[in-house]
Amino acid sequence: MAELHKTLEHGVRAASLFGVHPRAPPRSFMPSIRSLPGSALLFCAAAVVACEGGEGADPGTDTATDVPETCGVPSGEGTVHATAALESDDTVWTAAASPHIVDFPPIISEGQRLTIEPCAVVRFGDRVGMQIEGELIAEGAADKPIVFERAGAAAWDSLRVAETGRMRLAHATLRGGGALGNSRIDETGTLVLVGDPRSPQGLMPLASVQHVTIEDSASLGALLSQNATFSDDSSELTVTGSGSAPLRLWQRAASSVPSGQYTGNQDDEILIDEGFGNSQIVGEATLHDRGVPYHMVTGMMVVGSSGDDRTPGSLSIEPGVQLRFQPGSRLLVQAYVTEEAATGSLRALGTAEKPIVITSGADAPAPGDWVGITFKGTPSADNRIEHTTIAYAGGVSGISSYDCGLSGDTFSNEGAVVFYGQQPASVFLTSSRIEHSARDGVVRGWVGDPLDFTVTNTFVGVARCLQTFPQPLNDSCPTDPPCPK
């Protein structure tokens, strides 16, 4: 035994020559192979200890959920990082040197890479975080996870990825971050991705997260802003114990919400911002069923660009999704016609067993809380709404359309679903429910045939007409337009 201790002591001293902090003893007798030569390596082999986690393994292929952890607990004082600069342009924080105590916010500058080994533990001081302008790679394994946590009782700040940065996290836990600083509780988080709203490529996939857990954040779990998204290979993200919501992101990034678990937070909703500038949903976007509601908390959700480029956009909503809107907001589907197609389309295809619900975001919903779904221009032939409940809409819209008004009507049209522009090619709202509209059910604001939306749909608690009457082609409205109740 004495010989083993001598060999171990020699290995620790040798490790210090290779950049490991002199105060850092081996972590549960598991020094890093890359940092230990000679007899220390022989000790590792003799003790049959896994010194590091499978270099070159693909973390995304390991789907085990109950694999026992083999890392052990750091037993020494660890390695202190007290400057913003990294040791080199390609720095490695080893498991053997854990815990890594971060007393000053490090910056991974553009062109630099920081790799954190499997089994490593990183502990941040009060309100200290990490700025990533280059590349952070922290890929553990199911039995060799990486941990980011607070060094003391106070929350640490965040892993913040800037528009030039990229990050890969796998089998990692981010615990106890999200310090508020000067931010509101729903405006910062433990993981923060910040893109560029003027990016010519639009969406910016700044982070890949696979089998990652964010827990006990003092604020949001993760905040994605200015076109920042998770990468397509992201999966199995768990956010729990947050002081606010699990996620907050721009509407353009809503498709990138990974599979996972988002419950057990102060507010179990995925918050969506309108964004600013040209931030409408363009390209193909999907609201996936992630087990919690989506809540539009700023501005309105806009599908299809109204800019000079008239970029097409399509929003699909999966069965079982609940989409909530703040007071005065709406879901606007742009329909400016180009040579190829209308620029916006909506496909909300629920099922009888898993209907979609689009409703008010108020704690105590009331008719007219939000405007409703509005179709502007010539509706795309790709629009389809099935097995969807639209509730508590009919708020003030500011829309004046081409339907025939009732006696005493103002110029404003309000309803759960409002068409203003051209006649749709078909009745694409079917097998759905309109509930508790403050005014009309469907506003048929076009000049043309009176397509009937009452045949397959159910109307409950609609204050006025189930559907208004469109203006006939001869431009002459009836004296008393039909208004079914």
| 263 inside domain | no
The mean of the pLDDT values for the chain is 85
| 305 inside domain | yes
**pLDDT above 80 (res 196):** yes
Lowest mean pLDDT among 40-49, 115-124, 304-313: 40-49
**pLDDT above 90 (res 182):** no
pLDDT-based confidence at 37, cuts 50/70/90?
A: very low
DSSP 448: S
What per-residue confidence (pLDDT) applies to 378?
86
| 242 inside domain | no
Domain boundaries, position 483: 280-485
Lowest mean pLDDT among 222-231, 234-243, 278-287, 442-451: 278-287
| 211 inside domain | no
What per-residue confidence (pLDDT) applies to 38?
35
Stretch 13-37: mean pLDDT: 32
Q: Which residues pair with 298 in a beta bridge?
A: 273
| 62 inside domain | no
pLDDT-based confidence at 202, cuts 50/70/90?
A: confident
What per-residue confidence (pLDDT) applies to 309?
64
**pLDDT above 90 (res 429):** yes
Alpha-carbon gap, residue 346 to 458, rounded angstroms: 20
Number of domains in the chain: 1
What per-residue confidence (pLDDT) applies to 114?
98
Query: Percent of the chain having pLDDT more than 70?
Result: 84
Burial 324-340 (b: 16+ CB within 10 A, else e): bbbeebbbbbbbbeeee
Stretch 214-242: mean pLDDT: 97
| 191 inside domain | no
- The two tokens of residue 282 are 């363009």
Stretch 75-95: mean pLDDT: 92
What per-residue confidence (pLDDT) applies to 51?
34
Longest dimension (CA), the chain: 105
Stretch 258-271: mean pLDDT: 98
pLDDT-based confidence at 416, cuts 50/70/90?
A: very high
What per-residue confidence (pLDDT) applies to 31?
33
Collapsed DSSP state (helix, strand, coil) of residue 13 = helix
User: Are 130 and 192 spatial neighbours (Cβ–Cβ below 8 Å)?
Assistant: no
Query: Percent of the chain having pLDDT more than 90?
Result: 71
**pLDDT above 70 (res 407):** yes
What per-residue confidence (pLDDT) applies to 29?
27
**pLDDT above 50 (res 303):** yes
| 417 inside domain | yes
**pLDDT above 90 (res 33):** no
pLDDT-based confidence at 340, cuts 50/70/90?
A: very low
Alpha-carbon gap, residue 405 to 483, rounded angstroms: 10
| 271 inside domain | no
What per-residue confidence (pLDDT) applies to 474?
81
Identify the burial level of 50 via C-beta atoms within 10 angstroms of its C-beta, where 0-12 means exposed, 13-18 middle and 19 or more buried: middle
